[in-house]
Amino acid sequence: MLTQQQLLALHYLFPISAKVVTQLTEISPTSLRKSLPISAKKAQQIFHNYEKIQHYDFLSYYAQQHITPIMYIDNAYPTMLLNSYDAPSLLYAKGNINLLQQMAIAIIGSRKAGLYTKVVLEAIIPPLIKANTVIVSGLAKGADTYAHEHTIACGGQTIAVLGHGFYHMYPRENELLAEKIATEHLLLTEFAPHMPPARHHFPMRNRIISGLSQALVVTEAAMRSGTLITTEFALEEGKDVFVVPGPIHSPLSQGTNYLLQEGAIPIINGNQIIDAMQLIFLNHGK
């Protein structure tokens, strides 16, 4: 198994999963090529860069940046995420890492979501907060932003999972919101601080949103969207997916209404979620 220093150095270059780390007994071009879906040239490049930084004091560096690295073997690493699909070997956190051990519900939806989602969240979020539930979302435009903002406005706690490192912000208009979450709530990512947003990062981000949460709430979603990818992760993990029905003529309701056809649980307020998951909420309160 890799040491903490080895993992911090390797992960700075490539976001490897916990499963891969358990298979690595050494870091070499050959072992990287065998364990990762990369070419021999890419493996050689990673190893070359690894040799340059392998002795760098990452722990001190992250402490100076108010970043907490959480390894998959640390007590702070959430058990449910570790047991999920392709769990990250390392998380980078800014804020209150104790939120990772609390009851959490993910709320997601379209980046184009508007007034309908805002109205829906006013009915869904307050009862969840009253039940001491952390709201998880992805800090994207639209539904994610509304979920974070309304949770904060109602006095609740929220976790924002990013598809990039902390030295970047996407979307830029959420920079102030991200700063507030990092100070009073929790920002989380599996990407080293210098890594910029990339298209393939966001499906990876979605599996973490699902893995952190006991259940998933979908407000508005088109048929082909990242929202439906996240619901697939949740369903594969046997989690409840709660869906808000939408107007049949709205493109942003096609995905949600499809999920209802496939057996998702229809909801119109947060109390329905609490009733449906009563045993989990009761155990959480003990």
Digit-coded pLDDT (tens) for 184-231: 999 999 999 999 999 989 989 999 999 999 999 999 988 877 788 888
113-167, pLDDT tens digit by residue? 989 999 999 999 999 999 999 999 999 999 999 999 999 999 999 999 999 999 9
Q: Which residues of 194-210 are buried (b: 16+ CB within 10 A; e: fewer)?
A: ebebeeebbebbbbbbb
49-72, pLDDT tens digit by residue? 999 999 999 999 999 999 999 999
At 286 the pLDDT is 44
Q: Which residues of 162-190 are buried (b: 16+ CB within 10 A; e: fewer)?
A: bbbbbebbbbeebeebbebbbeebbbbbb
At 280 the pLDDT is 61
230-261, pLDDT tens digit by residue? 888 888 888 999 999 988 888 888 999 999 98
What's the token pair of residue 125? 């979020």
Q: How far apart are CA 168 and CA 162, in angstroms?
A: 10
Across 172-185, average pLDDT: 97
Going by C-beta distance under 8 Å and a sequence separation of 6 or more, which residues neighbour residue 119? Answer: none
Tally the C-alpha atoms within 13 A of residue 80's C-alpha that lie toward its C-beta.
20
Determine how β-strand 68-71 pairs with β-strand 90-95: antiparallel
Q: Which residues of 26-54 are buried (b: 16+ CB within 10 A; e: fewer)?
A: ebebebbbebbeeeeeebbbbbeebeeee
Q: How far apart are CA 58 and CA 63, in angstroms?
A: 8
Going by C-beta distance under 8 Å and a sequence separation of 6 or more, which residues neighbour residue 186? Answer: 93, 94, 95, 96, 97, 99, 100, 157, 158, 159, 160
What's the token pair of residue 273? 């979620």
Q: How far apart are CA 76 and CA 72, in angstroms?
A: 9
Rg (CA), the chain: 19
Kindly report the average pLDDT of the chain as a whole number. Answer: 93
